[in-house]
Amino acid sequence: MLYGFQVVLTFQNILFVFIGVLAGTLIGMLPGLGPISAIAIMIPLSYGMDPASALILMAGVYYGAVFGGSTSSILLNAPGISGTVATSFDGYPLAKQGKAGKALAIAAICSFAGGTISVVALMLVAPIMADFAVSFGPTEYFALMLLGLTAIASLSEGSTTKALISATFGLIIATIGIDQQTGTQRFTFGNPNLLEGIDFLIIALGLFALAEVCSLILTRKKKMFEGDQSVGSLKITRSEAKEISGPIARHSVLGFILGVLPGAGATIASFMSYLSEKKISKDPSSFGKGNIKGLAAPETSNNAATSGAFVPLLTLGIPGSGTTAVLLGALLVVGVQPGPLMLTDHPDVFWGVIASMYLGNVFLLILNLPLIPFIAKILYIPKALLISLVIVFCMIGVYGVSFSTFDLYLLLGFGVLGYLMRMFSFPAAPLILAFILGGMMEQSFRQALTISNGNYGVFSESPVTVSLLVISLFSLTFPILKGKLSKKGNLNNNNDLSA
């Protein structure tokens, strides 16, 4: 680590860290503009650069975007990046209650804590976690994804049936496109625009941002924010600090572990953390209505997962997400082959990047906390102008990814769908989670059966798989049993009262 700090504590590399996290924060704040496109643009700029400096710059953009992505989620209900969708569940209700300043401050502190704790973990256990990640095969991944799906009932505000219907629709959408295993077209209806499936960004921005816009346009008498429209105090009380300390400790570890697993990443980590925090809460009904634990959990986890994603990238050369896949390409461009030999062949890149994350997280906190009162001024923008800006940013974000007008029509379609789901009380979160997990779960399931020649007994061979499947079964049946027991208890109470 001392060698890593020697690498990063030069004027040039400190400047690269600052530029990276600043650019990442600004990109993360804009709905639809993720770190992938920003890093891709920077790859040509890295030609001729020192490999350590190039990766320090691009890594800063990556975790800076995740750090800054919470802003639009909290203020506009328009997730800046996919990893901050879960942040909007409680962040946006807090902003509507006049606590936007507090929500942004909690998000900044939790992001800093999650990022810093995971960097310490990255330094200490990178080789061990790399071995653990390699031990996860198709059966383990299938069981992990199934566990995420069985927790869908926790994302429902009311009817569990409606949550499961939303999730089923999400799984259906996940099957659209070319089957990766056989090359068969599925549910494209002969439309070439659907061959690659539907991008996550279209669904997230449609169901959250454009659905909010539809709601505001169709209910013109309502204000942009119900209740207090003020920014509110940034101060976090001692009791609130104590309340969020538990989620920070728990989900820094969970986020880092999920970040290490190739394919999981910040999005799944944030959803898993939100679900688990809601499960263990004494008052789960307050989640989705402005619970600070519901904000702290995903914000801690997504930043922790971002650092965790560097473990398989640097030690195995396996990208854990789309962004780290682009970073892998950037490393190859500057002449660095990530893998087990990287620690000995390129220690300046390996330890320099890890040391830069310490510095980058400090820069992010210093940048974000003082700017919160100015960032939160977005609440005072006139409603008509704000609606126009949200629509424009959403369309630019979607069009900038594919340059397809068909995707803009899909965006509008999902916006209308999101509004109808709100109208009939169907939760959008299960649809999003099922869409994310569905493709990976199907792929892992089919890989496991291919390896075992169609023998379903392969799912009982690994202790990790069996443990995850048992937890999934418990997760699915517990809400049903709990509901029946509570009804039976109420019935007994009523009989006692009548007696």
For 242-271, the pLDDT digits (tens) are: 888 888 988 998 888 888 776 567 778 888
- DSSP helix, strand, coil percent of the chain (3-state; round to 5): 75, 0, 20
Mean pLDDT computed over 148-153? 68
**Nearest-angstrom CA–CA distance, 369 and 66:** 16
Among 34-38, 205-209, 278-282, 311-315, the minimum mean pLDDT is found in 34-38
Q: State which amino acid sits at residue 38.
A: A
Both tokens of 391, joined, read 């629509």
So what's the pLDDT on residue 225? Answer: 45
The pLDDT of residue 224 is 46
pLDDT tens, residue by residue, 177-211: 988 778 889 988 888 889 888 887 788 788 877 88
| CA distances (Å), origin 119, targets 124, 128, 255, 398 | 9, 15, 12, 32
Q: What are phi and psi of 193, to 5 degrees?
A: -70, -15
Annotate 109-132 with b (16+ C-beta within 10 A) or e (fewer). bbbbbbbbbbbbbbbebbeebbee
Question: Which position has the higher pLDDT, 454 or 485?
Answer: 454
pLDDT-derived band of residue 172, with 50, 70 and 90 as boundaries? very high
pLDDT at 357: 87
- For residue 393, the model assigns a pLDDT of 79
Question: How far is residue 23's CA from residue 41's CA, in Å, rounded to a whole number?
Answer: 12
Query: pLDDT value at position 318?
Result: 66
**Domain residue limits, the chain:** 1-223+233-488
pTM over 0.85: no
Q: Which tokens is 306 given? A: 């971002």
In terms of average pLDDT, the best of 37-41, 64-68, 373-377 is 64-68
Percent of the chain with pLDDT over 70: 83
28 pLDDT higher than 80: no
**pLDDT per position as a tens digit, 210-245:** 887 887 777 654 544 444 455 666 778 888 888 888
Give CA–CA dist 19/300, Å, rounded.
23
Q: Pick the more confident residue, 117 or 205.
A: 117
Q: Taking all residues of the chain, what is their mean pLDDT, rounded to a whole number?
A: 80
**What's residue 430's pLDDT?**
80
